[in-house]
Amino acid sequence: MDDGAPETVCLEFTATSTYRCGMCGDDLVEMVDGVESESGAPCCGEAHVPERVALSWCNSAAISVDEVDDSVTVAISVGDPRGAFTFTVRRVPDDAAGNLAGRLVMHVPYAAQPAPHMALTALHEGTYLVGAP
């Protein structure tokens, strides 16, 4: 980080299925009348037991460090993979006008945000339901 260019570390999540069978481990696909394995194969002679695949809701998680902006941003994508919820902490420059000079400020997603990554509904202060209420 000696050239001041922003640096990003990103984890991409590549789960192909949101459900898998708790008995046989097969990836399951949602059908009109329930779930079944992609091959349609039965599970040890019985119905598959669907379980949600952990972290299948997450597209990516990234941390960006920007020395020019004196900021760190965390981005978590759960909806459209081209977007993300972003959380940024930045230091206001020492020579900035006003009493925030040299102080840290934090930007977080909020419920009434224009063009949100996904809709947010406040459950209580600092906690939101993600998606349609």
Closest to Zn ion by CB, 47 vs 101, is 47
Q: Which stretch binds Zn ion (CB under 5 A): 20-28, 56-64, 91-99, 105-113?
A: 20-28
Strands (E), 47-131: 50-52, 60-66, 71-77, 85-91, 104-107, 120-124, 127-130
* Rounded CA separation 21/37 (Å): 8
Closest to Zn ion by CB, 21 vs 75, is 21
Paired tokens of 43: 């599970």
Q: Which stretch binds Zn ion (CB under 5 A): 11-19, 43-51, 71-79, 125-133?
A: 43-51
Paired tokens of 57: 């809701």
**Which parts of 47-66 interact with Zn ion (CB under 5 A)?**
48
Interface with Zn ion (CB under 5 A) = 21, 23-24, 43, 48
